[in-house]
Amino acid sequence: MSMHDSPNSRKISYLLAIREALQEEMRRDPAVVLFGEDVVRHGGGFGVSKNLWEEFGDRQVRNTPISENCMAGMALGAAMTGCRPVVEFMFMDFAALAIDQICNEAAKISYMYGGQASAPLVYRCPQGGLSMKSAGAHHSQSLEAWFTHIPGLKVVFPSTPYDAKGLLKTAIRDQNPVVFIEHKALYSLEGPVPDGEYVIPFGEADVKMAGSRATIVASGFMLHLALQAAEMLAKEGLDVEVIDPRSLKPLDEECIFGSVRKTHRAVLVQEACRTGGVAAEWGMRIEEECFDWLDAPVERVAGQDVPIPYARSLESRVWPTLDGIVQAVKKVCYFK
Amino acid sequence: MHEIRFFEETAGNLYRRGLLKGGVHACIGQEAAEVGISAHLRTDDFITSTHRGHGHHLAKGADPKRLMAELLGKETGYCKGRGGSMHVAAFEVGSLGAFPIVGAGVPSAVGAGFSIQQQGTDQVVVAYFGDGALGQGTVYEGMNLASIWKLPVIFACENNHYAVSSMMEDMVALKDIPAFAASLGFCGRRVNGQEILEVYQAAGEAVERARSGGGPTLLFLDTYRFEGHYFGEPEGYRSREEVQKARTEIDPIALFRAQLMESKVLTLEKAQEIEQAARATVAEALVFAETSPEPDPEEYGRFVYA
């Protein structure tokens, strides 16, 4: 359903949309519990869970010690025994401490144990730079590709308040571990969200802007840069299609392939550093399935292969830019 | 204990005949620790286990047939051949699984403890781990969490003295178990893990405490593994004499049998009967496992997602 013309739409922030999803799911099902560092009075790292403890108490909202690996594994144990935990990592970077429990344990429980168990849980991971400027190497990374690589995990990455709320509700109801990525620069972004109940299925991309000359695929904050690029390109006569995969795993290949077969050109954008990222995976799949339709080599716009630096001059140099996306589209269109 | 012993010896024979693949870690010598604790557990209580987990599962009531079938990678195994010896689980009897990454089961045990608390039941969880896991920060994280939330978790550390080849004394600075646990706000006891009645008594107190809302306990069980780290391991780190001495002097089955016979609770005849019954159970399990089908290779993708 399109939200832009719904009579019941309100405008709320991405942050509030996430909080509403948590609140509604915790009301609907007392098995839904929230674990995280400072999630009680502080509302978590960015205030997402503010006021939830006041409503749900210790039974459903718990502050944890700074023990990311144990927190991730505790959620697994709770998920295997009747709870539906949501874990907040204060920063996605800190999930590195929990890779064992997320990737070795939670992701493999269903498979290793031959379907005896499932792990219905959500890892909420605020990631990316561009909002907290100069947060540096340990508070700015984009790490979605670490998790899309692991069989057994689902990975979603909303870019709008509407998508954030609908996808988080789906994540909480899913029987599998879901890495739910929130982009820190989007928390204050406002957008239309209906009053009533809705969910967004995984594996359904969203065409955020329709066009015919080239396809841009982008998630999170990059989606918004891509939309800006598309608007600029439209003024120069290039009308571009912008696709938001929304769920990175499962990936809506048909939507991406359909668009590329129509436009014959693809620009893939990721904020994460270049090597081994999701754009490489998208590009390979396009090569495998759409090669005969391509009129130009696929272009990738990505972060530099360096740790995120502190100094503003360096920091702004390593992230993908609006101009980088514009130039990449012009390149695949052989547009002078 | 006999059933576990014969199960492990049978697994050893299979390994030596080349019929059992992968790493197989036997708990021969450690049976009293597992049986003494499980004697207090109900089916709806939970355990988390380790790479050396066959005994934990059998003591908790797992079906030897399905366990053996899992070792042999058969479709009839607990995990339909997807897990194997090191990654087995038996949810029907409360095993949340073997976590062969050292110490990695502890967080799940704590999480199960949270569920129990949230649901308001009187179940308990036993987190088994070895002395080697005391090097893992996750184990400390789990103990800390269980203590601040007063969760019904029993931390059962089986000290078999060797983390692969590294001696506990060289790798773990911790000396005073009761003081360590007390500093974390709960009770800790060091127990002779070869004496089943001593384990039984200490575990009984721990389980009772957990059931009645008294929070976690650390049981540190001194034991010894009679086999190598895995079947076929060269064991260059300890002498044959040391192992032989342990087999002669601190075999938990022989010790318990002698005690029971001395106190006239058990006759030699009855002891042999128990032993034969266990042998028959394991033999039956082996036949079941050997005659079971392997998983269909085309089903390799099943169970990735629930």
Could you say which DSSP state residue B90 is in? B
Give me the residue from B82, B118, B148 closest to A112, CB to CB.
Answer: B82
Q: Which two tokens stand for residue A208?
A: 């955020």
Quick check: A75 contacting B, CB < 8 Å? yes
pLDDT score at B184: 97
Chain A: residue whose CA lies nearest to B116: A81
* Strands ordered across the beta sheet of A32-36: A61-63, A32-36, A84-88, A122-127, A178-183, A154-156, A247-249
What residue has token string 């100094």? A311
pLDDT score at A1: 42
Which residues in chain A have their CB less than 8 angstroms from residue B115's CB? 77-78, 81-83
Task: Output the CA torsion sign for A219, A133, A66, B122.
Answer: negative
What residue has token string 């060091």? B190
pLDDT score at B294: 97
Beta-carbon separation of B115 and A83 below 8 A? yes
Residues 6+ apart with CB under 8 A from A72: A87, A95, A98, A101, A102, A106, A123, B107
- Dist. CA A220–CA B116, nearest whole Å: 38
Q: Which two tokens stand for residue B172?
A: 């773990």
Domain ranges of chain A: 13-194, 206-332
Three-state DSSP class for residue A201: coil
Q: Which two tokens stand for residue B184?
A: 């974390």
Quick check: B136 contacting A, CB < 8 Å? no
Give me the residue from A82, A101, A111 closest to B303, CB to CB.
Answer: A111
CA distances in angstroms from A141 to A321, B38, B292, listed in the order given: 16, 46, 49
Half-sphere exposure of B78 (CA within 13 A, CB side): 32
- Dist. CA A184–CA A182, nearest whole Å: 6
Which residues in chain B have their CB less than 8 angstroms from residue A154's CB? 305
A147 by Cβ neighbours in 10 Å (0-12 / 13-18 / 19+) ranks as buried
Beta-carbon separation of A114 and B80 below 8 A? yes
Could you say which DSSP state residue B85 is in? G
Alpha helices per DSSP H over B39-102? 54-59, 64-71
CA dihedral A32, A35, A39, A40 (to 10 degrees): 70
Q: How many domains does chain B have?
A: 1
Beta-carbon separation of A74 and B111 below 8 A? yes
pLDDT score at A2: 46
Quick check: B101 contacting A, CB < 8 Å? yes
pLDDT digits (tens, 9 = 90+) for A216-228: 999 999 999 999 9
- The domain spanning residue B6 has which CATH number? 3.40.50.970
Which of these, A233, A218, A214, A204, lies nearest to A159 by C-alpha position?
A218
- Dist. CA A65–CA B148, nearest whole Å: 9
To the nearest whole Å, the CA of B108 is away from the closest chain A CA by: 4
Element (H, E) at B191: strand B187-192
Could you say which DSSP state residue A308 is in? P
Is residue B114 domain-resident?
yes
Q: In 10 A of CB A246, how many CB atoms?
A: 27
Is residue B60 domain-resident?
yes
pLDDT score at A9: 75
Beta-carbon separation of B46 and A151 below 8 A? no
Is residue B214 domain-resident?
yes
Three-state DSSP class for residue A320: coil
- Dist. CA B248–CA A104, nearest whole Å: 40
- Contact B145/B117 with Cβ under 8 angstroms? no
Q: Which two tokens stand for residue B217?
A: 């306990």
Give me the residue from A33, A105, A176 closest to B99, CB to CB.
Answer: A105
Task: Output the CA torsion sign for A187, A188, A190, A194.
Answer: positive
Do strands A299-303 and A206-209 pair parallel, antiparallel, or not at all (unpaired)? unpaired
Element (H, E) at B272: helix B268-291
CA A108 to centroid of chain Cα atoms: 22
Q: Is A139 a catalytic residue?
A: yes
Is residue B297 domain-resident?
no
Three-state DSSP class for residue B15: helix
pLDDT digits (tens), chain B, 306 positions: 999 999 999 999 999 999 888 889 999 999 999 999 999 999 999 999 999 999 999 999 999 999 999 999 999 999 999 999 999 999 999 999 999 999 999 999 999 999 999 999 999 999 999 999 999 999 999 999 999 999 999 999 999 999 999 988 889 999 898 999 999 999 999 999 999 999 999 999 999 999 999 999 999 999 999 999 998 888 999 999 999 999 999 999 999 999 999 999 999 999 999 999 999 999 999 999 999 999 999 999 999 999
- Contact B58/B118 with Cβ under 8 angstroms? no
Interface with chain B: mutation pick from A70, A87, A99, highest number of B CBs within 10 Å? A70
Half-sphere exposure of A217 (CA within 13 A, CB side): 31
- Dist. CA B106–CA B98, nearest whole Å: 11
Q: What is the assigned CATH class of domain A206-332? A: alpha beta
Three-state DSSP class for residue B201: helix
Three-state DSSP class for residue A237: coil
One-letter amino acid at A8 equals: N
Q: Is A68 a catalytic residue?
A: yes
**The domain containing residue B188 runs over which residues?**
2-288
Is residue B130 domain-resident?
yes
Beta-carbon separation of A70 and B145 below 8 A? yes
To the nearest whole Å, the CA of A15 is away from the closest chain B CA by: 27
DSSP string computed for B230-262: STT---TTS-HHHHHHHHHH--HHHHHHHHHHH
Three-state DSSP class for residue A29: coil
- Dist. CA B24–CA A294, nearest whole Å: 52
Quick check: A336 contacting B, CB < 8 Å? no
CA B177 to centroid of chain Cα atoms: 20
- Dist. CA A122–CA A172, nearest whole Å: 6
Residues A37, A68, A88, A105: which is the catalytic one?
A: A68
**List of chain A residues with pLDDT < 50:** 1-3
Looking at 3.40.50.970, 3.40.50.2300, 3.40.50.720, 3.40.800.20, the CATH number of the domain A13-194 comes to: 3.40.50.970
Residues A139, A183, A224, A264: which is the catalytic one?
A: A139
pLDDT score at A131: 62
